[in-house]
A and B are shown apart, each in its own frame.
Chain A
């Protein structure tokens, strides 16, 4: 088997060799099993965000999670990132139970997460500091990454001088420069306009396809989910949301996310997934607005 050797290189130092050659099968990059997450709200009340979640994402697999607003999609992601400790169940990362922060994952947040007091270059550079990369080397690599996301001319700009799309590109470079084995993305293109979303989607596919990492992409946009991913997972309306459906997306790669939406196969899969998603969206609406108040996505 073409196993972990090449792909996880230095990480192996910290982990005793648990992949015995005979097993052959590689552990999933992320395995959530029997996951329950309950929030304690002020006044001793509890809010069960998600329950009974079983989700396994293989190395190199692009999985999207869709669901109605406030169904706990981000909560799942935070659990996989180790930002949030589940009340029950386990989070397995390459076959090992996760404790503390997930050091093998990169996280792309929905809200602006760049340090506003650092330039684009410094924001990307700083990601290498915890890895002990020398300043000169970090500088060169950060410039290269900013070039790859199309911001070569903007290295000295502060975040407020960049557009929303450009800030996301910087965040993307900041995350990818560390070469994490797992990518977690929480509605990263949510705040962007439609055209920018398509451009960012293609950029993401382009970068991802170079060295396919396990990727969990949370979105409420079904078309975006289908056009990007290998698998689409549908979550039910919260509270106590669970996974209600899991679809493969049999569309060929490489894809252009603007053009793929016009294909017949795309429409068929869209129709199938929408059939189950629609039910959940309607449920969520029927439950009213009060639910929004107790929905906590914060880590």
Chain B
């Protein structure tokens, strides 16, 4: 199928969706229009509100907060994940001893930690960063661990026969292999950093996208909720596109580049 046709069909899906939404909320098909609009708002109102928000300065401040939290959670979580992933992969005993605890910690739904983090780190950005950290850390940790463990034995034996010492093996073999695995989960980990930030904001904060949506919900402002969701979606797509760009640059050496884990 050619690109124009595909884009046309994709646009058609959106138009049909908006049309149905509009018809249902503008005409008394399923009851009184006012009641329906209270529950579902209208596409025009949501788009209008979104547009107004996007031209005002206020939303960018909230976006900036969310972005800061996401980036911090991603960077700190990745750094810790890489460090522990490496350490555990190179120390069999350590990995064996901590195995059940790591599995248990990873099995825990992270949302339940949000109130605790709010208690520990306050309502500012750090409680959200902590929540994002717990999500990012495990993804990166497991991937780096796997990356180090699954280095091809032939590549490793060859590198050793070339006379490489531990430091050189680390630089030329283990490190690139681990990074590959980490990058292949880049979409997932960046996505989870964002989830941590938004969920944290949603559960208790005074700024950020999650806060905006929560604020609208608490006064039954459905238009505000939908518009917040729309802005969030645009934000996620923008970040994802950025990650794809980074990924393409970093993994040029990979055959048939295909890591499409979505957030």
Contacts and interface: CB of A to CB of B under 8 A. Distances in A.
Nearest to A157: B253
Nearest to B163: A130
Nearest to B153: A298
B155 A115 contact: yes
A106 interface: yes
A83 B155 contact: no
Contacts of B97: none
A11 interface: no
B163 A178 contact: yes
Given A81-B161, A83-B161, A105-B161, A158 B155 contact: no
A112 B152 CA distance: 9
Given A299-B153, A299-B157, A116 B253 contact: yes
A126 B158 contact: no
A71 to B, nearest CB: 20
Given A129-B164, A129-B168, A130-B164, A115 B159 contact: yes
A158 B253 contact: yes
A178 B162 CA distance: 8
Contact of A101 (B161, B177, B253): B161
B255 A160 contact: yes
B90 interface: no
Contacts of B159: 115
Contacts of A112: 152, 154-155
Interface residues of A, number: 31
B60 to A, nearest CB: 39
Contacts of B252: 158
Interface in B56-107: none
- Size category of the B interface is 20 to 34
Chief secondary structure at chain A's binding surface: loop
Contacts of B172: 115, 118, 126, 129
A269 interface: no
A145 interface: no
B173 interface: yes
A102 B160 CA distance: 10
Given A113-B154, A299-B153, A106 B161 contact: yes
A51 interface: no
A106 B252 CA distance: 29
B253 A107 contact: no
Given A113-B155, A114-B155, A115-B176, A130 B165 contact: yes
Interface in B148-191: 152-155, 157-165, 168, 172-173, 176-177, 180
B54 to A, nearest CB: 41
Contacts of B177: 117
Interface in B199-258: 252-255
A130 B176 contact: no
Interface string A211-236: 00000000000000000000000000
A130 B158 contact: no
Nearest to A119: B253
Interface of A: 81, 83, 101-103, 105-107, 109, 111-119, 126-127, 129-131, 158-160, 171, 174, 178, 298-299
Given A117-B253, A129-B164, A130-B168, 15 more contacts: A109-B157, A112-B152, A112-B154, A112-B155, A113-B152, A113-B154, A113-B158, A114-B155, A114-B158, A116-B253, A130-B162, A130-B164, A130-B165, A160-B253, A171-B158
Interface of B: 152-155, 157-165, 168, 172-173, 176-177, 180, 252-255
